[in-house]
Chains A and B, each alone.
Chain A
């Protein structure tokens, strides 16, 4: 066989990653309503229940803004966190162990990196989409008004990448679906309450404030809040770089650790 005469035109790295992304998009959008409606509705129910319900008892401003605005700015981010976490834990595990999706992909001209990064790009996209959909609601009912808030879906995208990456790291260790309960109940649920979403971090004792500052959700929420209120200062730059660093570190770990589950 004369290898010289054979045409070998392998798609370039970006095209390969996008082809993986495109696979997830077409499978996901096939049942878009049942896939996307619940995670979209969840933050709105929370906003109505806690914001309008509990918010009635809150007199004056929280962190210098009405409580409904305070809560809404955080709830733009949380669906990005939850969908990315679900997708890269349960979703990835099912694709890996039950549906053997990656076996097929890795038989096509794709590397394990293409597969992992395409998956992260997909959850980043979902993050943008869910943040945008919540933003549209809170913008149109007049809770959020600042034009800078239009950048928050981008923060939702970063959130998707962050939690996609950390969920992939978790998945690389998991041999049984039930173990993901620890991730959701033990990590995500407490973080939901201690990342400055429901109440300001300044209400926490000093040591806990320090812990909250390490938690990943704190930073995109603070960014979204700055953007929605137009109070932009140096903190948002710090938060942005925290998010980037988090994505790079956990993205690297996910690639390294998941490789052992994909190629062996």
Chain B
């Protein structure tokens, strides 16, 4: 057993809800101690994909293969859950109990003896900066504290795999950075991490690899920086008032510039920064912004700009 087996092995997985294909022939692998991000708009199938990994959702019959630590969730969900910690999208804490009370309930789910549970709770509350909140009622916790507490809960059994569904949605920048920092530490300790996110910055900050999902399919996969370099122009000129572009439309019609008009804004993409600068200088000053392209640009390019609300 010298070759490194992936912690997560997903091949050709299909999941349908009635006529809707929520996940359509998705494959990916996550080797140990790596952070893998699933990106995509709402309804792309990220959460469903994640739930299939720990048996909360079942893939279709003949719906491909899933192996987590070598276990199939359809047959060995308990082994997978024992080795994994899950941070669901909602903070489903028991409001009736205090911080430690909530954690003791889960320690019992994992079958931890009381003494070990208490030691771990102490250590993990310290790890997530919640030490002073031990006896605090859940309703008195801020959103960021609740989120950190759910992460502590997921870490109770010393998981080898941590699964997080939108871990920092709705949190302030301080808490987001704290969570990212702790996730990096866990990764250094050998924990494999799988997360879903809408935040491109989050993916960029902590994910070694990401895949972008759209309408149940994996459309792109790779290291965040590679994906940007290979799939989108290096620079973007954001123009708030596209009517200004009329004066310089000669410069814009260059084949090296790709235009993307969205509502009352125009985005000009190019690998040649000089050409974009020329456009910028040709316009009246103000109302435009030249920057490097980022994962968000790539995300919007691959998944489109329309809202995904149906």
Residues facing B in A1-18 (CB within 8 A) are 1-4, 6, 8-11, 15-16
Residues facing A in B30-64 (CB within 8 A) are 32, 54-58
Q: Spot the interface stretch: B78-86, B206-214, B252-260.
A: B78-86
B276 an interface residue at 8 Å Cβ cutoff?
Answer: no
Given contacts A3-B70, A104-B88, contact A22 B108 (CB under 8 A): yes
B54 touches A107 (CB 8 A): yes
| Nearest chain B CB to A154 CB, angstrom units | 26
A3 touches B97 (CB 8 A): no
A6 touches B109 (CB 8 A): no
Q: Spot the interface stretch: A70-78, A95-103, A193-201, A207-215.
A: A95-103
A110 touches B109 (CB 8 A): yes
A107 touches B88 (CB 8 A): yes
Contacts of A15 in B (CB 8 A): 111
Given contacts A1-B4, A3-B70, contact A8 B79 (CB under 8 A): yes
A264 an interface residue at 8 Å Cβ cutoff?
Answer: yes
Contacts of A229 in B (CB 8 A): none
Residues facing B in A141-164 (CB within 8 A) are none
B106 an interface residue at 8 Å Cβ cutoff?
Answer: yes
B94 touches A263 (CB 8 A): no
A30 an interface residue at 8 Å Cβ cutoff?
Answer: yes
B81 touches A108 (CB 8 A): yes
A31 touches B109 (CB 8 A): no
A263 touches B83 (CB 8 A): no
**Complex: chain B residue closest to A27, CB-CB:** B96
3 closest residue pairs by CB, A with B: A11-B111, A107-B86, A108-B109
Other A-B contacts than A6-B83, A30-B96, 7 sampled, CB-CB below 8 A, are A1-B6, A11-B110, A16-B109, A107-B88, A108-B81, A110-B81, A110-B109
Identify 17 residue pairs between A and B in the complex whose beta-carbon atoms are under 8 Å apart, listed by A's number.
A1-B5, A1-B160, A6-B69, A8-B79, A9-B111, A10-B79, A10-B82, A10-B111, A22-B108, A23-B108, A23-B109, A99-B95, A103-B92, A107-B154, A108-B81, A263-B57, A264-B58
